[in-house]
Amino acid sequence: MKTINGIGVSPGVVSAPAFYVAKTKHAEIVLGSLSEILSALESVAKDLDSKAAQTNMTIAKDVIEAQAMIARDPELHSKIQSLIGESSSDLRIVLEKSFEQFKIDLTNLGGYFAERVSDLDEIKHLVVNKLLGLEEASIDIMSDSILVAEDLSPADTATINLKFVKGLVVSKGGPTSHTAIVARNLGIPAIVGAKGAENIRHGDFLLLNGRKGVVIVDPSSTEINSAIKRERELKNKTSRVSGPGRLKDKTLVNLLANAGNIQDAKKALELDAEGIGLFRTELLYLNQTKIPTINEQVALFSELFEMFNDKKIIIRTLDAGSDKPVPFLKSEKEENPALGVRGWRLVREHKQIISEQLKAISIAAEKSKCDVWVMAPMIDTPNEAKEFSGLAKSFGIKKVGVMIETPAAAILADKIFAEVDFASLGTNDLTQYVMAADRLDSRLSDLTNTWHPSVLRMIQIAGSYATKMNKPLGVCGEAGADPLLAAILIGLGVTSLSMSSNSIEEVKGFISTLTKSQCEKTALKVVRCSSAEQARDLAQKELN
């Protein structure tokens, strides 16, 4: 028996043989010309277009379409041309060098574009396949299996046969990787960052616990039965809870959904979300070559608000800039964009864009019965909070808040709360900044864990001020989707949780078994721990 630990990103327990998917290895020289490599890139782009058209999963479709755009990117083509010239060269070496240069460019841009870096390896691999006349082995699974791989492309993950694929295990990636995001939407148990998974052999019998982030190779029947029984008991205990989110003592906890487009919003309604806790407006602009007019923005927001009638929607203003570049912003290149002009800092260079967005939201809200709240990302100081609040309220927006996603904002939360009506914790970025670890780097996945007491203590500071000042404090990062962590966050002063729609039912069921006092007492014990593992184990024991 061998145990492999990783990051559980989608809960559930399943046992089945491993179906190991290995990528084709490229070792041979590939001689050819610029025209051949450009032709291969276009062929890969067309294949991706076809796969995007075949999937009904919005998140996967968006990612695959982004990969096709990268394959056609003129900047990438220019780098290839500068390296290859017009003569015949080893195209594999040319691709390695040009993609590495392009990867550096995207990494320096940060944010949305840095998240595309992992796509480059997949695109490069597919292009070499084309040049060699190879076809990647299809994931043709016809019996119950747990899919194991070094990593999976969004296209692979989105097209697997859910009739037979019972779970996913990949050795790379973190909680915000494409595989993690798509797995959550598929609703199957999944673990990422499972170092050692590459040593699992095809056919090995596995026990996968997506809640704990553990894979056991060749488990005993006792271990299998015990894990499945425990998971079933938890599911039975936490399912079939209707109505709004509330604790056992009737304390209300808003359970909302994260969304980036109309399709996400529709799914949230279908899965009984109480509203939208984070609507990412920047996703509406990423492919725009010019600034959308106020009327165009009003039309989009009106469609969204009409869907939710009297429900709450929290709109996050444009979280863009050098870290999430949109074509019409023309942001300057920065050495460290995660610490640069992003989020609310965008007003330093593009105040008109934020003002027009706030005006459009206000006009659409006036015509709607929807309860519209608006918040700004990347607020660091009380003065920034005051400036945003004044600007938003000048357009008639009634509920104005900010994102708390930096240590500076958390530490001065009392001063910030004095300027706004509410706040929401962005746990992904907050964890990254507290731990000084890039959340997109799979090598640091053990550090980018919101369970770390350093992160929880930062949340505790913000939560204590929210409670004292009677201000709503939400969470809209990935942390809210973990039922156990959700309970700890509630104990630290959080009053609402926003997550992927698929996670709402289980979180609702779990917190309905707990009282506010239980959450608070356990949270106080957890923040005294010295590691993320110790913190989670203690919470599991206390809230069993």
pLDDT tens per residue, range 265-307: 888 898 889 999 999 887 666 556 677 889 989 998 999 999 9
Q: Domains along the chain?
A: 2-22+137-220 (3.50.30.10), 31-132 (1.10.274.10), 243-542 (3.20.20.60)
Distance CA 161, CA 186 (A): 11
Higher pLDDT, 30 or 410: 410
Residue 449's pLDDT band (cuts 50, 70, 90): confident
Are the C-beta atoms of residues 170 and 156 closer than 8 Å to each other?
no
- Mean pLDDT within 447-463: 94
pLDDT in tens, 492-533: 999 999 998 888 988 999 999 999 999 999 999 999 999 998
- Per-residue pLDDT of 458-491, as tens digits, reads 999 999 999 999 999 999 977 888 899 999 999 9
Indicate the average pLDDT of the chain.
84
Confidence of residue 313 (pLDDT cuts 50, 70, 90): very high
Q: Which residues contact 508 (CB under 8 A, 6 or more apart)?
A: 238, 241, 245, 255
Give per-residue pLDDT as tens, 44-94.
899 888 888 877 666 667 778 778 888 888 888 888 888 776 555 677 788
The pLDDT of 27-46, averaged and rounded, is: 81
List 178, 370, 452, 529, catalytic entry: 178
178 is catalytic: yes
Segment 211-257, tens digit of pLDDT: 888 999 999 999 999 999 988 887 776 666 778 899 999 999 999 99
Query: Which of 412, 515, 514 shows the shortest CA–CA distance to 464?
Result: 412
- Nearest Cα neighbor of 84 from 97, 73, 71 is 97
pLDDT band at 323 (very low <50, low <70, confident <90, very high): very low
pLDDT at 329 over 60: no
DSSP 8-class letter at 353: H
Which pLDDT score, from 0 to 100, does residue 467 have? 97
Of 115-124, 336-345, 473-482, where does mean pLDDT reach its minimum?
A: 336-345
Q: How confident is the model at residue 102 (pLDDT cuts 50, 70, 90)?
A: confident
Percent of the chain that is helix, strand, coil (3-state, to 5): 50, 15, 35
Report the pLDDT value the prediction gives residue 412, as an integer from 0 to 100.
97
Active site residue 476: yes
Catalytic residue among 77, 350, 452, 476: 476
Question: Lowest-confidence range among 54-58, 308-312, 370-374, 469-473?
Answer: 54-58
* Structure tokens belonging to residue 15: 């046992």
